[in-house]
Amino acid sequence: MKRVIERHPHQLSELPYPYHALEPHYEERTLRLHHGAHHKAYVDGLNRAEAALEKARSQGDFALVKHWCRELAFHGSGHLLHNLFWESMSPQGGGEPSGPVAQLIEASFGGFGQFQQQFSATAVAVEASGWAVLAYHPELKRLEILTAEKHQDLTQWGTRPLLTIDVWEHAYYLQYQNRRADFVKAWWNLVNWGNVNKRLG
Ligand code: MN3
């Protein structure tokens, strides 16, 4: 029997400060439009994609799964990165960090000045639409400065990977040639759910 989970639509969260609070560095007019119109569009798009995928599952019709997967990644990452962006700023912000992040910056980049230079250069170098992101990698136990073109290509930032299948042609071509679907079907016999639970833990 197919089970339909109850979906809770995502909401545009309120900013942690008034619209004028970041002036003069970030003006109210820009922030209102950015949050109220642009961020809102990602929230709506994410809800639309989740609803469409729910419908696809209930009908067993995945003809448009590639489209909705892209929409899920684009709008989901847009929503999550904007949440992070708003939280990344404060009317009382600026200066140099202290505490654990300061130590990690020292260890990962050789000092705050070098980190700041690399982060700025990275942000300036992003082609067209995108983000610069300071991220902690729990497996490598270090900070990295990364970029996201558009928002996603084609992930949702902040997710924790639990299970993966390599669908580059090198992963299956010798055995399955162009029959990727056969490889995917066979792969389900190999899944290590114990490891998934461990990563989830
Ligand atoms: Mn934006």
CA of 84 to the centre of ligand 1 (A): 11
Give me 186's structure tokens: 């066979």
pLDDT for residue 28: 96
Residue 64 Cα to ligand 1 midpoint, Å, equals 27
pLDDT-derived band of residue 200, with 50, 70 and 90 as boundaries? confident
Question: Do 124 and 139 touch, CB atoms closer than 8 A?
Answer: no
Reported pTM: 0.86
38 Cβ partners below 8 Å, 6+ apart?
Answer: 82
Rounded distance from Cα 123 to ligand 1 centre (Å): 14
Q: CB under 8 Å to 185, separation ≥6 — which residues?
A: none
**pLDDT per residue over 122-168, tens digit each?**
988 888 788 888 998 888 888 988 888 887 776 777 787 778 888 88
Q: 55 alpha carbon to ligand 1 midpoint, in Å?
A: 29
Q: What does the alpha-carbon distance between residue 182 and residue 26 come to, in Å, rounded to a whole number? A: 53
Cα 174 to ligand 1 centre (Å): 43
Please state the rounded mean pLDDT for residues 19-31: 94
Distance in angstroms between the alpha carbons of the first and the last residue of the chain: 28
Do residues 161 and 196 lie in contact, with contact meaning Cβ atoms separated by under 8 Å? no
The yes-or-no verdict on residue 29 having pLDDT over 80 is yes
pLDDT above 90: residue 4: no
Give the pLDDT score at 129: 84
Percent of the chain with pLDDT over 70: 96
In the reported structure, the alpha carbon of residue 63 is separated from the centroid of ligand 1 by a whole-number distance in angstroms of 31
d(CA 39, CA 37): 6
Find the 59 Cα to ligand 1 centroid distance in Å: 34
Residue 157, pLDDT score: 79
Long-range contacts of 116-121 (CB under 8 A, 24+ apart): 118/145, 119/145
Instruction: Mean pLDDT check: name the lowest of 24-28, 68-72, 110-114, 144-148.
Output: 144-148
Average pLDDT of every residue of the chain: 89
The rounded Å distance from CA 15 to ligand 1 centre is 14
Interval between CA 129 and ligand 1 midpoint (Å): 9
The pLDDT of residue 65 is above 70: yes
In this predicted structure, what is the pLDDT of residue 198?
Answer: 84
Ligand 1 centre distance from Cα of residue 134 (Å): 17
How high is the pLDDT of residue 39?
96
- 74 — pLDDT class (breaks 50, 70, 90): very high
Of 70, 75, 74, 79, the closest CA to residue 11 belongs to 79
Q: Closest Cα to residue 75, out of 99, 25, 28, 41?
A: 41
Please state, for a pLDDT cut of 90, what percent of the chain lies above it.
55
Mean pLDDT of all residues in 80-85: 91
Over range 87-99, report the average pLDDT.
92
Ligand 1 center to residue 152 CA distance, Å?
13
Residue type, 92: Q
Q: Hey, which bits of the chain come out as E strands? A: 130-137, 142-149
Cα(83) to ligand 1 centroid in Å equals 10
Question: What is the Å distance from ligand 1's center to 33 Cα?
Answer: 10
Ligand 1 center to 34 CA (angstroms): 6
Contact status, residue 51 vs residue 79, Cβ threshold 8 Å:
no
Model pLDDT for residues 30-62, shown as the tens digit of each residue? 999 999 999 999 999 999 999 999 999 999 999
Tell me the CA–centroid distance for residue 162 and ligand 1, in Å: 28
C-alpha to C-alpha distance for 113 and 106, rounded to whole angstroms: 10
Which residue reads 């209102």 in tokens? 32
